[in-house]
Structure 1
Amino acid sequence: MKLKIVSKETPQVRSMADKVRDLATSMGYTLDDHNPDVVIAIGGDGTLLRAIDFGKPIVTIRAGRRSFLMDVEPYNIENVLKRLKEGDYYVQEYPLLKITHQHGEKDVFNEAGILYDEPESIILTANFLETSITIEGDGLLISTPQGSTGWSLSITGVYLAVMNALEITLVSPILSAVKSLIVPRTQINLIMESKGYDQKARIVADGNVIGHVRPGDRISISPSKNAIIYRFHKIDPMRGIMPWRK
């Protein structure tokens, strides 16, 4: 089995990554950065996002400040490598989104959308299914179920507990009591409307700015493939929302 290791860039985690490399090669694994069978992510949830970009099944090792989605403790690495070779794990799938815009396209794990770039409101129209909504405010975010536990949760307080739905989050809407909409997993098209003068807004994907739009520009956010994580321990999805849970 061929492995690729993706790790957080700190001295402590680099040392842990070296340990994983040594253990893996001693157990008969091959290290392959170009065409691995499995990606080992060592770090926190940000490292997991980097690992997902490779499109391969992932094993997650906790070494981050929060690491809500990482299930393997550092002391258990050797045992997990043995179990991986034996196929002793269960598969957990996370639905991804694909954001398509004039600059290209990208798979998204948590959320994507359009946010203001300058300190003034923007007007956006969202078209999905047979519905159209137009809002003025700081922007719109479209979140996956796992993404609903992060940025969107801090805005709406809503946790999306089903896998076949999306959350549309209205960011600081003007004259609207609605903060979010729960919709079926479907394509959502966003259009930046004109306020009568030129504006620029940010296209965001998993917390990163990946481009800009101006009035009349469109982006689409649609269901994509699933990310696959090989799990060795149960993950409580409420752990990141309610840290006091045992």
Structure 2
Amino acid sequence: MRIAIAHNTNEETLKVVAHLKKILATKEGVVFDAKYPDVVITVGGDGTLINAFHRYEKQISSIRFIGIHTGHLGFYTDWQGQDVDKMVDALFLREPESAKYPLLEVELTTESNERKHYLALNESAVKRVSHTLEANVYIDGKLFENFRGDGLCVSTPTGSTAYNKSIGGAVIHPKLKALQMTEIASINNRVFRTLSSPIVIAPDQWITIVPNSDHFVMTVDGNRINLHNAKKIDFRISNKEIRFDRFGHTHFWSRVQSAFIGDKHDTI
């Protein structure tokens, strides 16, 4: 088993990483391989996992992820630092089985018809820095609305709990494999009208944003890309998925509850 460990530099994280490496070194067949791993173990938080995802996104079909959090509870990180021994035991005692989550494919087309592709675990947003964003929004190639406001955010189901939730979007279970578009401070008056509500589209549909501006900002999982003279941006569910080892992967609604409401143990 080829294993890579990705981590932040917090003091607590470094202690956990040292212990993790020590345990893994005693396991037969383990090879530490940061270039072509079978399993990527991240230690830190959700940001650490997202960074590791982008580092290995070209190999995403052959990698399983395991997240260990060493700070506040992470949404993608199921294990706690004190559970490292348990996690390693489970990794080697069970047959590999993965929980798969959909990803967002972003295709940018420039005025010269050059195409650039991006992959997002959480979301991609289109904004203007100091002015109102004006853009035509298409669904399946048909005009849906003319948007004016601070921006638009397109998220995956797992990403629906991140930036999307903070701007009023719905939380969506990842089994739905749907895309969600949420408006950011849209302008609605007698002249300008938008739906003014998040929309959720089917997995075989796509969203196109055509900005009426020659300069705006696009983010992909929080990474900022300054754009000039972009013709359009297409968003759709990718045919690629991210895989998490299921043996310690917490039930989706349990993670939502734990992250945003607090632990409750009552059952019907």
Which residue of 208, 218, 225 maps to 1:203?
A: 218
Q: Deviations over 1:205-242 (max 9, x none)?
A: 1122033244x521222221110000314232423663
Aligned residue pairs total: 240
Q: Are the aligned partners of 1:112 and 1:142 in contact in 2 as well (CA < 8 Å)?
A: yes
Give the structure 2 partner of residue 239 of structure 1: 257
Give the structure 2 partner of residue 171 of structure 1: 184
Q: Are the aligned partners of 2:126 and 2:216 in contact in 1 as well (CA < 8 Å)?
A: yes
Q: Deviations over 1:50-74 (max 9, x none)?
A: 2222122101112132312211122
Give, in angstroms, the shift of residue 11 of structure 1. 2.2
Structure 1 length-normalised TM: 0.89
Q: 1-side partners of 2:136 and 2:97: how far apart?
A: 41
Give the structure 1 partner of residue 191 of structure 2: none
Superposed counterparts of 1:96-245, under 5 Å: 96-101=103-108, 102=110, 104-118=116-130, 120-129=131-140, 131-132=142-143, 133-161=145-173, 163-175=176-188, 176=194, 178-185=196-203, 186-194=205-213, 199-214=214-229, 217-224=231-238, 225-231=240-246, 232-235=248-251, 236-239=254-257, 242-245=260-263
Q: 2-side partners of 1:229 and 1:14: how far apart?
A: 23
Is residue 101 of structure 2 the alignment partner of residue 81 of structure 1?
A: no
Give the structure 1 partner of residue 41 of structure 2: 40
More helix by proportion, 1 or 2?
2
Q: Are the aligned partners of 1:140 and 1:170 in contact in 2 as well (CA < 8 Å)?
A: yes
Give the structure 2 partner of residue 2 of structure 1: 2
More displaced stretch, 52-61 vs 78-87:
78-87
Alpha-carbon distance change, 142 to 91 in structure 1, aligned in 2, over 3 angstroms = same
Equivalent position amino acid for 1:98 in 2:
E
More displaced stretch, 6-15 vs 39-48:
6-15
Q: 2-side partners of 1:223 and 1:212: how far apart?
A: 22
Give, in angstroms, the shift of residue 131 of structure 1. 3.4
Q: Are the aligned partners of 1:117 and 1:200 in contact in 2 as well (CA < 8 Å)?
A: no
Q: Are the aligned partners of 2:99 and 2:249 in contact in 1 as well (CA < 8 Å)?
A: no
Moved over 4 A (4+): none
- Gap runs ≥5 in structure 2: 189-193
Structure 2 length-normalised TM: 0.82
Alpha-carbon distance change, 157 to 219 in structure 1, aligned in 2, over 3 angstroms = closer
Equivalent position amino acid for 1:173 in 2:
S
Q: 1-side partners of 2:124 and 2:172: how far apart?
A: 16
- Gap runs ≥5 in structure 1: none
SS of alignment partner, residue 181 of structure 2: strand
Q: 2-side partners of 1:115 and 1:193: how far apart?
A: 12
Alpha-carbon distance change, 244 to 44 in structure 1, aligned in 2, over 3 angstroms = same
RMSD (CA atoms): 2.1
SS of alignment partner, residue 166 of structure 2: helix
SS of alignment partner, residue 107 of structure 1: strand
Equivalent position amino acid for 1:206 in 2:
D
